[in-house]
A = this chain, B = another copy of it.
Amino acid sequence: MSESNGAEQVLKNYAGETPGVIGNLRRLLYTGALAGTGKLVILPVDQGVEHGPARSFAPNPEGYDPAYHASVAVEAGCNAYAAPIGFIESIAHEYAGRLPLILKVNNSDSLGTPAQPQSALTSAVKDAVRLGCNAIGFTIYPGSGSRNEQYEQIRDLISEAREAGLPTVIWSYPRGGKLSKDGETALDVSAYAAHLACQLGAHIVKVKPPTAHVEQDEARKFYDNIPRDTLADRVRHVVQAAFNGKRIVIFSGGPAKGTDAVLEELRQLAKGGANGTIMGRNAFQRPRKEGVALLKSAIQIFGGK
């Protein structure tokens, strides 16, 4: 492995971490078709919990079976597969050590009605260890009235994960409080969300692609000189907010859409300096062949080919 390759450049930014955590970050960065590039394409499947099984898997019923997704991730050459404990438990004995697994330790469903936006803790670091996972994932909702509880949960989880040699991926999704619906993906709010996740100690940050909207009045004037016309421009600002690019930032793809739209978005992400993408519905709601092909296209885009 060359010290000058992309993966090692990325890892230098984690120099203060334990070898255990760095080791698992390295495993993610050296798996699949993007091995060594410092880029990541990850397959996440928590839609069954988030939206329900039929909304998630009826379009491609193979997806009801937990074995399907891990097999797709390997075939496509993804760096990792992320899911709630039920799906991970069903396949871990066959995939641990072969495909990096990210245990999503909190989740939210569409039936529940908590007073504030907040996911439920559904698994623990010791589950991740037991199941041979390489990282944990956690969603925060900046803006929520229960922000404190969430930040304190992630504080404890990151610490516990570190003691087990596991890095932490934070899904940072602004939601609740004073935020308008548009504000959730506004540029200022997205950059803030990425910065918060980094300041909370995330090793990898996942945010949504930002729009050109600026939500906070107090922030408006500071955006006069920050380019935000193209998605690439906006991604560049989010990456800057993530410790000037010293933390890995990956972007989700959002709702299922046409292949051309997906590819154009991916190109903008790559151009703006994103470290990769985490693509769910666009992959698993297509028939297997098409889903694998789309993941491979994402890999090519981030691989610079």
Residue interface mask A45-74, B partner, CB < 8 A = 1:
000110111110011010011100000000
Q: Which residue on B lies nearest to A119, using beta carbons?
A: B148
Chain B proximity of A214: nearest CB distance (Å): 9
Stretch in A120-128, A262-270, A271-279 touching the partner: A120-128
Q: Which residue on B lies nearest to A83, using beta carbons?
A: B199
A244 on the B face (CB < 8 A): yes
A137 on the B face (CB < 8 A): no
Please name all residues of chain B whose beta carbon is closer than 8 Å to the beta carbon of A127 when the two chains form the complex.
159
A142 on the B face (CB < 8 A): yes
User: Which residues of A pack against B, CB within 8 Å?
Assistant: 13, 15-17, 48-49, 51-55, 58-59, 61, 64-66, 84-87, 89-93, 107, 109-115, 118-124, 126-127, 131, 142-148, 150-152, 155-156, 159, 174, 176-179, 188-189, 191-196, 198-202, 216, 218-219, 222-223, 225-226, 237, 240-241, 243-244, 246
Q: Which residue on B lies nearest to A163, using beta carbons?
A: B126
A174 CA / B197 CA spacing, docked (Å): 27
**Number of copies of this chain in the oligomer?**
5
Judge whether A155 and B123 touch: CB under 8 Å: yes
Known contacts A124-B159, A148-B120; A112 and B143 CB within 8 A of each other: yes
Q: Which residue on B lies nearest to A51, using beta carbons?
A: B218
Please name all residues of chain B whose beta carbon is closer than 8 Å to the beta carbon of A52 when the two chains form the complex.
188, 191-192, 195, 216, 219
Please name all residues of chain B whose beta carbon is closer than 8 Å to the beta carbon of A241 when the two chains form the complex.
53-54, 64
User: Can you name 27 A-B pairs with beta carbons within 8 Å?
Assistant: A16-B91, A16-B92, A48-B199, A49-B199, A53-B191, A53-B194, A53-B240, A54-B222, A58-B222, A58-B223, A58-B225, A64-B244, A65-B244, A109-B192, A110-B218, A111-B142, A111-B147, A111-B193, A112-B142, A113-B143, A113-B176, A114-B145, A120-B147, A122-B155, A124-B155, A124-B159, A126-B159
Q: Which residue on B lies nearest to A65, using beta carbons?
A: B244
A93 CA / B193 CA spacing, docked (Å): 26
Judge whether B246 and A90 touch: CB under 8 Å: yes
Contact residue among B66, B177, B179 (Cβ-Cβ distance under 8 Å from A246) = B66
A148 CA / B113 CA spacing, docked (Å): 9
Please name all residues of chain B whose beta carbon is closer than 8 Å to the beta carbon of A119 when the two chains form the complex.
148
